[in-house]
Chains A and B, each alone.
Chain A
């Protein structure tokens, strides 16, 4: 096949991706929160969020996506690690071993009685690390010519 300088018109792909991105993203958030009692959790949620961003990268070019999502993904991975570590360190304040997780019903204004667990914060750390690492790998490979 001969390469031409004509850019193909990705109109249909881009329009569909604009809608599908949000569906994948909200599903990944659902999977993340479902992880406590049903299958799911930080790792799968993080991978699905990354896949939504990869879909954007396929439909648009790297520069556009970097302008839309102006995060340094290495810093996101570092933040996730710090969050997971901090959740583990928090147990020292209550004189219990490292990484002991507290859970129980908490009374919040407006929401009423909600069952909260500190494991969710740890999972959020895992989520951020997975998103950061996956996106860093893909962007580094994508930018090298």
Chain B
């Protein structure tokens, strides 16, 4: 992944030196040609074509923005509801993610979603304790997290 990005930049710089014009436009053209070349040689590398990772990061960003808007609207709805009909509680969630940054991003995304809040990460980094506003929908929340966030984060670090 990182090697492919570096190679792409190297090809772009090569292109600039060959053209003997050092502008952003020439760099962009060289970068585009490098991207095409790396796409053609994508089976040559150990990791997958890096542009897919870039797309995965953008997907994660879109999910983040969507969840932020949804969360704030649902909180608004809860505040304006006259009677509260929920039972708060804490449930454990087994995560399959391994790296520090993955767990951090997952925790922050869970905290932003409506009705859930990460309270604690267990000592072995494999269990997240999540406070739910309505414990009745805990199973549903687990399924949601597994399907949307964890999948998107796995897609980035594949």
B123 partner residues in chain A, CB cutoff 8 A:
6-7, 9
Cα distance, A9 to B120, chains bound together (Å): 7
Write the chain A residue with the least CB distance to B105: A15
In the bound complex, do residue A9 and residue B125 qualify as a contact, i.e. CB atoms below 8 Å apart?
yes
Query: Complex: how many Å from CA A14 to CA B101?
Result: 10
CB pair B100–A15 under 8 Å, yes or no, is: yes
What residues of A have a CB within 8 angstroms of the CB of B103 in the complex?
A: 11-12, 15
A contacts, CB < 8 Å to B: 6-9, 11-12, 14-16
B83-104 contacts to A (CB < 8 Å): 100-101, 103-104
Chain B nearest Cβ from A7, distance in angstroms: 7
B interface list, Cβ under 8 A from A: 100-101, 103-104, 107-108, 118, 120-123, 125
Is the Cβ of B120 less than 8 Å from the Cβ of A8?
A: yes
Of all chain B residues, the one with the shortest Cβ separation from A15 is B104
Task: Enumerate the 3 nearest inter-chain pairs by beta-carbon distance, A residue then B residue, closest first.
Answer: A15-B104, A9-B121, A15-B100
A9 CA to B125 CA in the complex, in Å?
Answer: 8
- The total of Cβ contacts below 8 Å across the A-B interface reads 25
Shortest beta-carbon distance from A81 to chain B in Å? 40
Q: Within the assembled complex, what's the spacing in Å between the Cα atoms of A16 and B62?
A: 21
A118 smallest CB distance to B (angstroms): 34
Cα A12 to Cα B120 in complex, Å, equals 9
Closest A residue to B106 using CB positions: A12
Which of chain B's residues has its CB closest to A6's CB? B123
CA–CA, A16 to B125, complex, Å? 16
Give bound CA distance, A6 to B120, whole Å: 13
Smallest beta-carbon distance B90→chain A, Å = 15
Report how far A43 CA is from B101 CA in the complex, Å. Answer: 34
Q: In the assembled complex, how far is the CB of residue B99 from the closest CB belonging to chain A, in whole angstroms?
A: 9
B154 to chain A, nearest CB (A): 17
B101→A15 contact, CB < 8 A: yes
Closest Cβ–Cβ distance, residue A100 to chain B (whole Å) = 42
Enumerate 22 A-B pairs (CB-CB under 8 Å) in ascending A order.
Answer: A7-B123, A8-B120, A9-B120, A9-B121, A9-B122, A9-B125, A11-B100, A11-B103, A11-B104, A11-B121, A11-B125, A12-B103, A12-B104, A12-B107, A12-B108, A12-B118, A12-B121, A14-B100, A15-B100, A15-B101, A15-B103, A15-B104
Q: Which of A6, A7, A16 contacts B104 (CB 8 A)?
A: A16
Measured CB to CB, the closest approach of chain B to A55, in angstroms, equals 16
Closest to A8 in B: B120
Which of chain A's residues has its CB closest to B104's CB?
A15
Give B39 Cβ to nearest chain A Cβ, in Å. Answer: 31
> Inside 8 A of B125's CB, which chain A residues have their CB?
9, 11
